[in-house]
Structure 1
Amino acid sequence: MTELLPGTARTLYARTARAQRDGRVPGLVAGVVRGGGLAWSAARGDVAEPHRDVAHRLGSITKTVAAITVMRLRDEGRLDLADPLEKHLPGTPLGDRTLGQLLSHMGGATSESPGGWWERTPGTTLEGLGLSPADAVLAPARRFHYSNLGFGLLGELVARARGRSWVEVARDEVLLPLGMTRTTPRPVAPAAQGFAVHPWADVRQPEPEHDAVVMAPAGQLWASATDLARLGAFLLGDTGDVLATATLEEMCLPSGIDPGDAPGWSSYGLGVQVRRVESGATLVGHGGSMPGFLAGLWVDREEATGALALANTTSGLDGGLPAALLADVREAEPHIVDAWRPSASPVPVELLGPWYWGPSPYALRAIPGGLLHLGGLGRPGRASRFRPGPAGTWIGMDGYFAGETLRLDPVALNLATFVFTRTPYDPAAPVPGGTCEWR
């Protein structure tokens, strides 16, 4: 990994120190991820040294690890994201919700599990939760509704598919293969003590810690800054043998929102949050909170940089600290992209260039990675990237034409039901409805 320049490090440390003071955080660890690990880190307050190794409760960042365990089963062909939960975990009142809906918080499951406040109550089994129809609070696929219960159910699905507990599956299939040896379901020394800080006085009291059992996939894990940085490197593309790169890309696609809209949106992929911040950067990661702890891990994939924060307080820390650290690094030490180099076009060059959807101009381009891009030429238009598909076809990866099939022909491009021609309404092309003379 590449260390940051002294001036950049001072800026980051000053921001971290201010966040710790203003948030009245007993202890705060912050870090920047570049080159596969921690390129910079610092601690303020009562964090023991070496601060990189002190475990903190991750809260909902655990959901990203839980999603990885589900996606591994999908990639093995053991399940499909369109499968209803009932197919793999029968007997719940949410059986008609698909696995993809639960992963993206579009399943309409209640936000919390029934019974006592699960974040402060010793956990139980799935049967012990006593689920009822009241735990389906919204119709599926209608709107985003964050659900801890949904991830508890997904973790139980993984446990039953693998024949052992979810924490064992996560350890053996995700954490250890990534080298995250300081990530555990319960605190292992050195570990921070979680505190609640009084809202009107500078006093504090310790918060309890427990085993959440079936709700563990929603927020159980503890990790050091070094290990959390490794998860950040994973989100930046260093997936090792844990997931295929294409599966990670799928996880990072936002659900229920058009990423071409104006800046300032927030969405959810599959086990990860996706945000476009005021600067226009799109960040992928997750925030987390449990009694006594706040955490955040966000990566800017375009800048190949991530940032994290671990705090031992129930409330008070501004959740925007990782994004602010990323903005500082982008300003002071922007990522140097790889040099452009010529590469062979994945299709005959004669097929590239201007095409027209009716009178609207578009351009078909070859882009790095053996992909194609179709988008408006000189004016806004529907845009998508395409990857090779079967029998010479191309499949939309994002944008309006995501999942659609593009067929190339010297006379016309066929995309869904659209016909793109070399000239506006080319009479030589098979344009539905025919064409007539321009006048």
Structure 2
Amino acid sequence: MAAASHRRSLHKRRTLVVSAAVVAAGVSAGFLVMNANAAPVDLFHQTLAAKDGWASSGTGATGGAKADAAHTFTVSTRAQLVKALGSATDTTPRIIKVSGTIDANTDDAGKKLSCADYASGTGYSLSAYLKAYDPATYGRSKLPSGTQEKARAAAQSKQAKNVVFKVPANTSIVGVPGTKAGITGGMLQIQNVDNVIVRNLTFAATEDCFPQWDPTDGDDGNWNSNYDSVTLRGATHVWADHNTFSDGPHFDSANPKYYGREYQIHDGALDITKGSDLVTVERNQFTNHDKTMLIGSSDTDSVGKLRVSIHHNVWKGIVQRAPLARIGQIHIYNNLYDTTTLNGYAPQYSINSRAKAQVVAENNYWKLPSGAKPAKVLSGDGTGSVAGGGNLVNGTVTDLVAAYNSASSKKIKTTVNWTPTLTSGLEKSANNLPTSLGTTTGAGVLK
């Protein structure tokens, strides 16, 4: 019965071949998806189904479904992507079809750019920076300032102009099936806009050439990088579906250490901050990453917003923040968490509920290696809540909050102030998730 239920829940995304009659009827592309409540629709024009998580609330997520021919683009280079995105303030509906892998670290002619290219002309060098801000001489009480910090910021700004892609409202960015579509080294910035769809893309190697040293971050200081693969800042009605996120091919285990701390060149995979609201994240694969998904950038980030649904995703080789949730109403269901160490990424926890976050986590499945403890699955600061049940650990129903609270002085609360209602596709059992999600999640599945 679980397998049959899963097949029904996937019905809205099943693909089929276009017949000549359908093409003659005016369908503009050759990839169709069956929606349970409507006739077959073009993959690139598909909108979020009714009641499919928080992003379906109100006006829903339709992206660029109303785009005309002049605002429908197929792109395969960085320069083409920049042109297709246009102005971040232009609200004209647009569809951007990504064909193949776009390397963000290239110039307008397609020439590959290196960290040295971005540093050129700024006066920055890592050796000079390390000498200038060595804690043994500079101290640990203040952020770096002066010549080398200004040079680092200038070099980082040069890189940002290349790798940050600002997404306007009413936009669908969808990978063309069969082309290994994705963006390497870049960041989609969805900031202060409404109604964006991101689907069928692989995001990899989002790396900051110029991390900043912060001696005041924690007891020993930290190197902090600047780019998420996808970042939502004040964004609303966003649907992220069937994408793959990875640090590869450069994993954190290859990062050097300076001042005794890891020189971290990766930031978030998909962060939802600065009052973002009404977001659905489904059927993605998150792998080989440390700080993966941040919901709420601070403990005072926008009360009444940060409403996010996270379902049918695979998390594998994730150290933490899957997600870290603050303040908002977050529904986490039917996800698969594989906490086996992968490529040096050793999981610390999966879900962190803090700053009075109201999390409902139900019918998820955790695969824990031998010796791992269910008490380590959750984390919190003593103010957050996690409600819900039906969560399985290695096939056994487990009260995750009770396991965590038995081993921690900062107790997670078990009641929340809301009840999820936008739950289309919710499976009442997590038993089949380790099998079903392996072939129905991530980029390249939609056809």
TM-score by length of 2: 0.27
Q: Identify the structure with the greater helix proportion.
A: 1
Q: Which has the higher contact order (CA 8 A, sep 6+)?
A: 1
